[in-house]
Amino acid sequence: MIAWAKAIAKAHWPALSLRTILFGTLLFVAALPGVAALSLRVYENTIVQQTEAELIAQSAVLAAAYRVDWLAGRPDTDPRKIAPEPPTIDLRAMPILPPQPAATTGPPPIPRAAAVARALLPVANDAASITLAATRLLDARGTVLIGHADTGMSYATLPEVKTALAGRSATVLRRRAGEAPHPWLTLLSRAWGVRVHHARPVLLDGRVIGVVMLSRTPRGLFLGVWQDRGKILLGIAVIFAVLLVLAGLLSRGIARPIDALARASEGVALGAVAMPETPPTAAIEIARLYDNFRAMAERIERRSNYLRDVAAAVSHEFKTPLAGITGALELLDEHGAAMSDPERRRFLANATADAQRLSRLVQRLLDLARADMAVADRYAAADVAAVCNVVADAFRGDHFAPEVAVPAGVTARIAPEILATVLETLAENSVQADASALRFSATRESGNVLLTIADNGSGIAPTDRERVFEPFFTGRREAGGAGMGLAIVRSLIAAAGGTIVAQDAAAGAIFTITLPATT
C-alpha cells in the first residue's frame, strides 16, 4: 500500500521551487494554531466554562444573601470553609439535555422562604439586568419563589434541582427552547444553541433551606470570534508579517544564493568557469557550499587545462614515432624487394625503436594517470631515513655515490613505497644528468618534513625550473626521454598532501619536497 501510494505521488508530484516549499511550510506552520483551536474547540470550551464560572459566583452571592435574610439578624454559626468550585463543563464529554421543561404544579411555597424571596427580589432583579441570567429562587421543596410566569410552580423534578435539594451544586447543558439543532452549525460549534443551567443549594446547619437556580446562554464560538475580531485580526497580521519577513530571509539566505549557484554550475558545464561572489546574506551552510563549489570549479578548470595540454603533448609526442613507423613500412612495402638485408634490418630496427618509444609513452601515461588518481592514506607513515638508505644502496656504484644525511625518527605521512618511487625517479634523473654525487637530507619544521635531494649533475636551466614538472617536457628527447618522470613525482606527492619545487642551484640540481609529518 505504501509503495503504491509512493508510486502515485512520484508520478503526479508537481515541480516546486524552493521558495514555494519554504513559503508553504511557513504558511502551514502559521495556520496550525488556528486549526488546532478550531479542531479541539479549546477556545469554545473556555468560553462556556467562563459562563459557568460567572453563574457559580452569582449564585454564591444570592445564596449567601438568602441565608442572611433567613437568619433575620441572628448570628450565623456555620463554620466558613474554603471550598472553591471550579467549572465542570466539558463540551467533549458532557451530554446536552433537551430544553428545560415547563414547571409543574407543586406544594405551596414555604411562608418563611417566600418572605426571604420578597426581600431579595430587588437584588435578584438588579443582578439579572446586568448579567442577563434567568434567576429563580426556590424553597426547600423546589417551589419557585422568584421567577417569571412560573412563580408558585415546582421544578423539583429537574435533575439539577434534585441534586441541589440533596445538598450539592449541579451544572447541566440544555438546548435553548424553540431552537432546533442545525447539523452544520452543530458540527462547527457544539456550544451553538445551548444554555448553561446551574442550581446551588442554600445550606444552613447542614440542611437545605432553598435553591438558587440560574441559567444563561454562553457566548458562542462565532460570537466570541466576532467580539475578539480586533485581537484576532491583529494576531493574523502579526503572523503574516513575521511570515513575510521569514520568507524574505529564507529567500535571501537560501533560495537566491542557490539560484545563483545553479546558474554558475550551468556555466561550468558549458566550460565558462565564472563563480559569483558569496552573497553576504547567505546562510553559513550556503556560504560553505559556495566556497566548496568555487574550489571545485577551480580544480575543474585546472584539470581541463591540464587535460588539454596533455592531449596536445600526447598528439605531438606520438606523431614522431608514428611517422617513423609509417615511413619505414611504406619504404619496405615499395622498395623492400630491391633493398639489401642490412638496409631492411636498419628500417626494421628504426620501426622497432619507434614502437618501443610508443610503448614507453603509453606506460608512462598509465603511470601518470594512476598517480593523478592516487588517494592519500591518512594513516600512512614512512621512515624517511630508512627509505633514503634503501634507494641510496640501490643506486650506489663506482661512478655514483649517494649520501644520506637524514636524522633518525623523521617520519612523513606518505606510504613508504610511494616515497621510494619518488626518490628512485629523482635518482634516475641524476644519473641521466651525469651526476657523480647525490645527497638526501631532511629537517622537520612546523609539522612538515622538508626533504632535500641535491646532485652535482648538469643541472636545470633557470627558465625550465617550473616546466620540468609538465608532462612530456624533457631535455633528453634525442636520448629517448619521455618527460613524464617529474610529472608523475609531482602527482604522487600532491596526492600525499605535499609539494615539490626545483630550487636555485649554482651547480647541479636541488629539489625540495615538503610532506606532512606524522604526529
Ranges of each domain in the chain: 40-76+87-227, 375-516
- Report percent pLDDT > 90 for the chain: 22
Task: Provide the pLDDT for residue 144.
Answer: 94
Measured CA to CA, the distance from residue 18 to residue 231 in angstroms comes to 33
Task: Provide the pLDDT for residue 479.
Answer: 46
Instruction: Say which DSSP state 212 is in.
Output: E
Task: Record the cell numbers describing residue 497, joined without a space.
Answer: 598532501
Question: What does pTM read for this prediction?
Answer: 0.44
Strand order in the sheet with 207-216: 96-97, 170-175, 194-204, 207-216, 134-138, 144-146
Q: For residues 333 and 478, which has the higher predicted lDDT (pLDDT)?
A: 333
Task: Provide the pLDDT for residue 338.
Answer: 76
Identify which of 406, 412, 43, 21 has the alpha carbon closest to the alpha carbon of residue 219: 43
> What are the residues whose beta carbons fall under 8 Å from the beta carbon of 297, sequence distance 6 or more?
264, 268, 273, 275
What are the helix (H) ranges across 270-338? Answer: 284-335
User: CATH classification of 375-516 is 3.40.50.300, yes or no?
Assistant: no
Mean per-residue pLDDT for 440-453? 90
Tens digit of pLDDT for each residue in 117-158? 999 999 998 988 898 899 999 999 999 998 877 889 999 999
Task: Provide the pLDDT for residue 258.
Answer: 78
Tens digit of pLDDT for each residue in 258-286? 787 777 777 767 666 666 777 776 767 77
Q: Is the pLDDT of residue 37 over 60?
A: no
Task: Record the cell numbers describing residue 121, joined without a space.
Answer: 427580589
Task: Provide the pLDDT for residue 480.
Answer: 46
Q: For residues 236 and 97, which has the higher predicted lDDT (pLDDT)?
A: 97
Q: For residues 43 and 385, which has the higher predicted lDDT (pLDDT)?
A: 385
CATH superfamily to which 40-76+87-227 belongs: PAS domain (3.30.450.20)
> Residue 161 carries which side chain, given as an amino acid letter?
V
Q: For residues 293 and 498, which has the higher predicted lDDT (pLDDT)?
A: 498
389: enclosing H helix or E strand: helix 384-395
Task: Record the cell numbers describing residue 481, joined without a space.
Answer: 626521454
Query: What is the pLDDT confidence band of residue 255, given thresholds at 50, 70 and 90?
Result: confident
Task: Provide the pLDDT for residue 355.
Answer: 78
* Highest-pLDDT range among 11-25, 390-404, 482-496: 390-404
CA angle 233, 238, 243 (to 5 degrees): 125
Average pLDDT, the chain: 80
> What are the residues whose beta carbons fall under 8 Å from the beta carbon of 412, sequence distance 6 or more?
381, 382, 384, 419, 449, 451, 496, 498, 515, 516, 517, 518
Task: Provide the pLDDT for residue 318.
Answer: 67
CA angle 74, 75, 80 (to 5 degrees): 145
> What are the residues whose beta carbons fall under 8 Å from the beta carbon of 135, sequence distance 6 or more?
58, 62, 124, 125, 127, 128, 146, 212, 213, 214
Q: For residues 253 and 50, which has the higher predicted lDDT (pLDDT)?
A: 50
> What are the residues whose beta carbons fall under 8 Å from the beta carbon of 457, sequence distance 6 or more?
430, 433, 434, 435, 508, 509
Q: Is the pLDDT of residue 210 over 90?
A: yes
Residue 58, SS3? helix
Q: For residues 264 and 98, which has the higher predicted lDDT (pLDDT)?
A: 98
Q: For residues 421 and 256, which has the higher predicted lDDT (pLDDT)?
A: 421
Task: Provide the pLDDT for residue 183.
Answer: 61
- Report percent pLDDT > 70 for the chain: 78
